[in-house]
Amino acid sequence: MVQHWHPSGSFPADDARDPSSEVLAQANKRLTLNLLIQGAAAHTFLTAHHLVKDSLEAIQPGLTRLYDRSAVSFHLNYFIGDIPLIYGLPSRFWRRTRSAEHPFHRHRLLAERGRELWRASKRFLLRRGWPRGVIGVPGFHYPQEMKLFVQVYRVERQYKRRLAELAKQATAEVWGIDEDRLDAELTANVAFGNLRTPKTKIGQMTRRAAIGYGGVERRGQQFTVVAKSWNFPLVIHELSKGTAELVCLHGLNTLDDATYEAVTAEADQLEYETWLLQAGPEMWRRFLAAIPHGRPLPEMLMHVARLDPEPLEQLMFAVVDDTQRAQTLLAPLGK
């Protein structure tokens, strides 16, 4: 079974309408973990290619710089590219989080801090893109993004297998996971496993237009992280997403089957991915800053995933607002 974490939608299930219900609490927890998962993938997507820089330059000189520019440009598409034309203006979405009609209005962290995280994520991309010659102006950005996309495609079409291996190598170094537990492929045929059926028309359209999937697939007695996407940076993104998902499964394994299905049905919807990719990167960077020195990243994420909903919420507010307090809360986990 493939575990995809594509969050989106409100909480329409009968038992989730009660804000005190266990399903709503666990769905909110899962949504928080999805925020971290998407943030981890987006953050790694921007920089992980530098871990295999020598190999990339051996394929073609200047390839690392091309990935530097294209990764920033591709991710800016969620803020100022064609994606807002489909989903709506991010500024309007994040301004309305307290509205009863908003899908995040009962998720306190996103309702109260989502706009701050979105704005910080956008500023980070604009600052990173400017010295690299990436256009950060709506309207002018998109043509450059398409040009970079074509340049990446032309370079990669001869080296797909080699680049898939390098994506696994970089991901293994970031996460400390064995490469034999990673399965990566550069391909236009990206769908795999048991994909969740979107609940809305925009979700169905998003699924048809998807250019990458990542998740966890059980193969025999072992879980394998699977990533399929059109190009090398996106394969790294999906591998990192799937690896973070594998770690966060520790936060779901105590749920009974019925609760698990209800929680993932509400929290793991495709439409949310766009919004979590806007707020998640800054959330992840603040989480990284709060991890106590010397503690392995996967271990800390696992312990965070195991927290009950209320302590997790308290910790994440501390991560956003007070790094020192977050470090104090994180330090005893796992000890």
Q: How does pLDDT run across 123-180, given as a tens digit for each residue?
A: 999 999 999 999 999 999 999 999 999 999 999 999 999 999 999 999 999 999 999 9
Number of domains in the chain: 1
What is the model's pTM?
Answer: 0.91
C-alpha distances (whole Å) from 58 to each of 52, 53, 150, 185 are 10, 9, 20, 20
Q: Is the residue at 335 inside a domain?
A: no
How many C-beta atoms surround the C-beta of residue 4 within 10 A? 22
Q: Is the residue at 274 inside a domain?
A: yes
Instruction: Tell me the per-residue pLDDT of 75-113, one tens digit each, with 9 for 90 and over.
Output: 999 999 989 988 899 999 999 999 999 999 999 999 999
In angstroms, rounded to a whole number, what is the distance separating the alpha carbons of residues 297 and 40?
11
Q: Is the residue at 257 inside a domain?
A: yes
Please provide the size of the chain in residues: 335
Q: Is the residue at 142 inside a domain?
A: yes
Q: Is the residue at 244 inside a domain?
A: yes
In angstroms, rounded to a whole number, what is the distance separating the alpha carbons of residues 69 and 46?
9
Per-residue pLDDT at 22 exceeds 90: no
Residue 196 gets which letter from DSSP? P
Domain range holding 281?
2-330
Judge contact between 212 and 234, C-beta under 8 A. yes
pLDDT at 256: 87
In angstroms, rounded to a whole number, what is the distance separating the alpha carbons of residues 45 and 171?
10
Q: Which contacts of 275-278 are long-range, i.e. CB under 8 A and separated by 24 or more positions?
A: 275/8, 275/87, 275/90, 275/93, 275/94, 275/104, 275/114, 276/7, 276/34, 276/35, 276/38, 276/39, 277/38, 277/42, 277/75, 277/78, 278/78, 278/79, 278/90, 278/94, 278/117, 278/118, 278/121, 278/122
Percent of the chain clearing pLDDT 90 (strictly above): 74
pLDDT band at residue 204 under the 50/70/90 scheme:
confident
In angstroms, rounded to a whole number, what is the distance separating the alpha carbons of residues 9 and 26?
15
State the DSSP H helix or E strand holding residue 218, giving kind and residue range, or none if neither.
strand 212-219
pLDDT band at residue 278 under the 50/70/90 scheme:
very high
pLDDT at 1: 31
Give mean pLDDT, residues 267-277.
91
Q: Is the residue at 14 inside a domain?
A: yes
